Structure 1
Amino acid sequence: MTSIDAARGMYFEDFAIGQELRTPERTITSTDIVNFACLSGDFNEIHANHEYCKRTPFGEPIAHGPLVYSIMGGLQYASGINDGTLLALLQIDAWRMLAPVRHGDTLHMRSTVVGKKETSRPDRGVVTFARRCLKQDGSVVQEMRATLMYRRRPPA
């Protein structure tokens, strides 16, 4: 009987410097914002008070920065890139929030491979991405450098 590897994920060897990966899209809802406030305990008025927000430049509640970050992780999972091959998130650098995310905005993530290195262990390697989270109009709402550890392809 032959064993079949059912993972959709990309192994360390599958990534190339300069390679760009794009995730599926996801629309943010008011429910997402409220649920994140409940989960995190962050009921800051900028996220939870419609009347307060009418007096801000945003005009309505906006998504929490960490909510958008979390959704980026979910979008990467939905892409299948990490399926069965991701070992660890090692580091996030230069995380910047560049534009607000509102109810009804549709997001996706583009990740460019900017670094790769083997580790001392032959079964794993480290990949660094420049990540950009974009809205439906193409504007970048968050960016960061993310360093992750992936499985190496098993010997044939």
Structure 2
Amino acid sequence: MASGRRGLFWEDFEIGMVLQTPARTITSTDIVNFACLTGDFNEVHTNWEYCKITPFGEPIAHGPLVYGIMGGLTYASGINDGTLLALLQIDGWRMLAPVKHGDTLHAEMKVLERKESSKPDRGSVRMQRRFVRHDGTVVQEMEVTLLYRRRGSTQPAQAD
């Protein structure tokens, strides 16, 4: 977002456009807090001794934790501020590389498709989402379809 605007409307998304979020470093505290929040204490996330005999060598972040943090970074970027209505679909969510304590990640989103809705105040945008580590490794990828407000819509939208 070169212009620094916040809250892109449906009309602002162009096919091929690439948006990038700020970055954030994942910590052991993030991993432990997510385990506590969800109750997912799988040893691959929480047991240092167990992890020494895994290919990872140390605890790794939960896949949904990484997804959630990238959602927070997308919010922080302002892209969805006041214009996002709903997450409609996730397709092909793949975990490509482990995320460990100290990894710094950002999200890159490429607009693949825009569709008008049956309601004139909204439209959907399909994007390729890639979560990228500081060394350039893509750690997760997926396609998402999101519902956005259209320019000029002022009423709170209700689901289709």
- Which SS does the other structure have where 1:109 is aligned? strand
Alignment of 1:145-156 (within 5 A): 145-154=143-152
Structure-1 residue corresponding to 2:29: 31
Matched residue type, 2:148: Y
Matched residue type, 1:131: R
Per-residue CA deviation, residues 74-118 of structure 1 (Å, 9 max, x unaligned), is 111111000000000000000000000000000000000001000
- Could you list the structure 1 runs, at least 4 aligned residues long, displaced by more than 4 angstroms after superposition: none
Per-residue CA deviation, residues 49-98 of structure 1 (Å, 9 max, x unaligned), is 00100111111000001101111111111110000000000000000000
Verify: 1:40 aligned to 2:32, yes or no: no
Identical aligned pairs, as a percentage? 72
Q: Aligned equivalents of 2:119 and 2:28: distance in 1?
A: 45
Query: Paired residue for 1:70, among 65, 68, 71?
Result: 68
Matched residue type, 1:27: T
Shift of 1:16: 0.1
Q: Aligned equivalents of 1:145 and 1:56: distance in 2?
A: 29
Q: Aligned equivalents of 1:105 and 1:54: distance in 2?
A: 18
Q: Aligned equivalents of 1:127 and 1:136: distance in 2?
A: 27
- Which SS does the other structure have where 1:137 is aligned? coil
Query: Paired residue for 2:97, among 96, 99, 113?
Result: 99
Check conservation: 2:6, 2:77, Cα contact below 8 A: no
The two structures have a TM-score, normalised by structure 2, of: 0.91
Structure-2 residue corresponding to 1:112: 110
The two structures have a TM-score, normalised by structure 1, of: 0.94
Alignment of 1:133-152 (within 5 A): 133-152=131-150
The alignment of Structure 1 onto Structure 2 pairs a total of residues equal to 149
Gaps of 5+ in 1: 1-6
